[in-house]
Structure 1
Amino acid sequence: MSEIIPQARGFLVTSQPEKALEILTPHIASNAKSPEFLAILGEALLENNDLQQAYEVLIQACELDSDAALGVEKFLYLGQIIGGADGLNYVNTGLNRLNEILTSISQDGGVTREELVKGGYKDINEYKTWAIKKLNSGIFASIEIWMTDLCMEPEAESKCNELIEFSLSIDPTNPESLSILSSIRISQQRQQEAVEALQRSWELFKLQKTKLEDFANKKEEEESSSGGDAFEVGMEYVELIQPLITLSRYAIELEQYDTAIEIASNVQDINDSILDAFYIEALANLFKAKQTSFANTGQANDEEFDYREVEVSQLKDTSEIKQLLADTRSILTSAYKISNSEYGAENDPVLVEQVNELLNSLGGPIMSELMPKRDNLDDAEVANWETEIVSDDE
């Protein structure tokens, strides 16, 4: 079993849960009482979208290790699956254990060399980094439960404030913590504080992205660097996508359209096939055009008037607004190409529908941008390129 778990963990790190399950499944019977084995099995099932089976396995793992002495991840995963007050109890078990670990790390002699080696940590700093990262993961899960399942509870707001303050106290430069702070302030209708947290989060995310890019672009790696380091940096880079998408949505909600456009564009730098990034950039451009059109009118001061609901045909015919609408249509055309490409099946059908509806309101895709590059086609293929495009009505 000592070899199986690290192997399975390696497959999960590289987003191959099906391979992790292949090597774990033959050993289920012989490890039915091992919380460590069941924890990695539950995680693999969860990553493989087998939610019910993952739930059953993780419940068993938590019962066998009720104080999280043999790992906290199973409690964090299970808490998020269950949600509500019961889910919160599981998350709190993991958080309590992580707090104990962090306390022992801060004490001289609190962690032995043997413990570091067993956990696979190079030194105490790496162990501390892991503990803080896991703590924040649990804190974010707790906040999500309080903001959704338990949002009507009288203590929900104070609990969210308490949790995010703790998160920032252990890692004040964590951009995801500041992003969540922005979300909390939005829900509390504290707009200016929400905008400040959003902008600070984005600045820190930009720094993080730049550092990762600088590492990747080095022609010669430092002697201390290894292939493993490069792989981890690559994974960190890709893992920026989802929190940045979330942050860009907060920017839209806060009417920070230039920031939303910038964030979405940076997501495209990481992966230019993320449909959400193109949709958000297009939406920000469109809302900016509408906001600009009504910025200095009496309607803009009417609390019941929402410029975002205005039809495109009602916008002013200025060069600035024309350019914003042209940019919007071009971005949506790129989104249309993604949704009709080999990646199309991976996209949320609702999002695809939203892209198409918005694009149709602007006159449909720009046909010249859909046409394949001439360099890669012969004359016959160029002549028949339109047949390769499937219309929304077909």
Structure 2
Amino acid sequence: MGGQAKGKKKNKPKRKDHRPNQDVGFVGLSPQERMKLRMHEKAKKKTAEKYSVQQLLEKTQESMDSFDFEMAGLFCQRALDVDSNNLQALDMLGHISCELGHMQKAKEVLLRAVELSPDVGHSKYMNLGQIHTGQEAVDYYSRGIHVLLSALEKQETVAQAAAGAAAAMTDEHHELPTAKDVSVAYCSIAEIYLTDLCMEEGAAEKCREFIERALKYHHDNPEALQLMASYLFSTEKIQEGKQYLLKSVGLWLPAQKESAAPCTTEEDVQNEVPPYESRITTAKLLIESEEYETAVDVLESLLEEDDEVVQVWYLSGWVCYLQWGKAKEQREAEGRGATEEEQEEWKALQEAARSYLTNAKKLYNKLRCDDQPMLEHAEQLLGELGGEMEAEEGEPAVDDDYEPCSDEEEDDGTPMEH
């Protein structure tokens, strides 16, 4: 009996695995990248279980209020991990990214907010305007103003409604616009026509038009008044410009000087004080209009706030030099010799100018700034004043371990422009 050939074993069909593939989305990633992504997902889940989005945004705001933008960015990103379409979180992260100098990230986040809610919330357009220049910036600011005006009109419509309804609207949109916001936005456009687009046809007329609109919505806006002063100075209307400038400074400088008084809170004062960069322009305009003592007050407050800005040291030295020269000219014009008291005053101004300019030059080199005209002018003034001051002669010179400032601070070194 011949043996039969054994039949081949039939392979049993494999059982289908209906469990979800945990590695979907990990294809093509290195082991390190997979581990990082898994850790991120684990942290995201843990965050969602421990904190609500609103709690994370409150933490974000607290960090922003204390100028800890790195920490604010971490809290805000966690909020977006939980709710990627949260408009408040997108707006806040856009602003935080701008503060940290992460402009590409800011653009992506803010444009996402525009995509989700083009007609509600003006702050994203204001931040986009700050990121861009020229006509692009004007376009973003204009869209923001359109949103602002629509919101203000809506507020007027519901003005007679119950207070609770108004509060509900505030919670939903996270921002309640004011006429002052409109004024500030118009100032931003006017400034572009005074700088980036100053050579465009009709730029001067557009600049004045937008400043007047800003003053229409907030007639006591220091920034708008100062912009009008800059505009008038640029058109050789010095006396009229000086009136606007002094009115602008009078709205915030006295309160800032008296901010130590018990009846005045720091928050109240800061709400009225223009931004740091704007106050540098204030000092320049005051020097140009020969309001030297007021310029000194402004510059001293700037140094107390931040002593890492070369231009503020330079302007402080320049104004002391101008005061020194003016005092000598007055005595010579009167045709009499200087008294001992006057000679001491001249020497004090001369030494103050030397000290400020010496620090300006040393800080300039430390920070590797790039403003040759300012450096040359400082050196010229020092030459007339008797040369650089040694550290033991006056106030302490800039520390050798001085840390460089940000790129934005380095860029803010232009001499006397409006």
* Normalised TM-score (structure 2): 0.67
Could you tell me how far apart the structure 1 residues matched to 2:330 and 2:168 are?
Answer: 61
SS at match of 1:213: coil
Structure with the bigger percentage of helix: 1
Give deviations 1:118-149, integer Å, cap 9, x for gaps: 5369xxxx95xx52332233122111222222
Match of 1:23 in 2: 75
Unaligned runs of 5+ in 2: 1-52, 402-418
Q: Secondary structure at the match of 1:2?
A: helix
Question: What do the CA deviations read for 1:197-217 (whole angstroms, capped 9, x no partner)?
Answer: 111112212243256433xx3
Query: Structure 1's 244 and 328: CA in aligned 2 closer, same or farther, altered over 3 A?
Result: farther
Give the AA of the match of 1:38: L
Could you tell me how far apart the structure 2 residues matched to 1:120 and 1:328 are?
57
- The one-letter code sitting in structure 2 at the alignment partner of 1:146 is Y
SS of 2:138's equivalent? helix
**Which digits, 9 at most, give the CA deviation of each residue in 1:298-329, with x for residues without a partner?**
xxxxxxxxxxxxxxxxxxx9676884464143
Q: Give the letter aligned to residue 296 of structure 2.
A: I
State the alpha-carbon separation in 2 of the partners of residues 198 and 239 from structure 1: 13
Secondary structure of 1:173's counterpart equals coil
- Give ranges in structure 1 of 5+ residues lacking alignment: 222-229, 298-316, 373-385
Aligned-pair identity (%): 23
Give the aligned CA root-mean-square deviation in angstroms: 4.1
Match of 2:94 in 1: 42
Q: Which has the higher contact order (CA 8 A, sep 6+)?
A: 2
Shift in CA distance, 324/25, structure 1 to aligned 2, threshold 3 Å: same
Report if aligned partners of 1:24, 1:41 keep a CA contact under 8 Å in 2: yes
Is residue 104–residue 110 contact of structure 1 (8 Å, CA) maintained in 2? no
Separation in structure 1 between the aligned mates of residue 377 and residue 200 of structure 2, nearest angstrom: 37
Counterpart check, 1:92 vs 2:142? yes
Query: AA paired with 1:327?
Result: L
Within the candidate set 181, 197, 220, 1:173 is matched to 220
SS of the counterpart of 2:219?
A: coil
Describe the SS at the equivalent of 2:54. Answer: coil
Show CA shifts across 1:156-184 (max 9, x none): 22222122112222222222221111111
Q: Does 1:77 align with 2:127?
A: yes
Contact 2:134–2:197 (Cα < 8 Å) also in 1: yes
| CA shift in 2, pair 1:60/1:186, >3 Å | same
Match of 1:13 in 2: 65
**Number of equivalent positions:** 338
**Which position in structure 2 is the counterpart of 1:254?**
289
Q: Which amino acid aligns with 2:191?
A: E
Within 1, Cα distance between the matches of 2:273 and 2:249?
16
Q: Cα distance, 1:77 vs. partner?
A: 0.9
What amino acid sits opposite 2:321 in the alignment?
Answer: L
> Using the alignment, how far apart are the partners of 1:328 and 1:200 within structure 2?
30
Matched, 1:62 2:114: yes
Q: 1:326 to 1:370 in 2, by over 3 A?
A: closer
- Counterparts of 1:162 and 1:87 in 2: how far apart (Å)? 17
Task: Name which one, 1 or 2, has greater alpha-carbon Rg.
Answer: 2
Matches within 5 A, 1:1-394: 1-67=53-119, 69=120, 71-106=121-156, 108-109=159-160, 113-116=164-167, 119=170, 127=176, 131-210=178-257, 212-214=259-261, 217-218=262-263, 232-233=267-268, 235-236=270-271, 241-268=276-303, 276-290=311-325, 323-324=345-346, 326-333=348-355, 336=358, 350=371, 353=375, 357=379, 358-359=381-382, 361-362=384-385, 363-365=387-389, 367-370=391-394
- Normalised TM-score (structure 1): 0.70
Once the 2 structures are TM-superposed, how far is the Cα of residue 2 of structure 1 from its aligned partner? Answer: 2.5
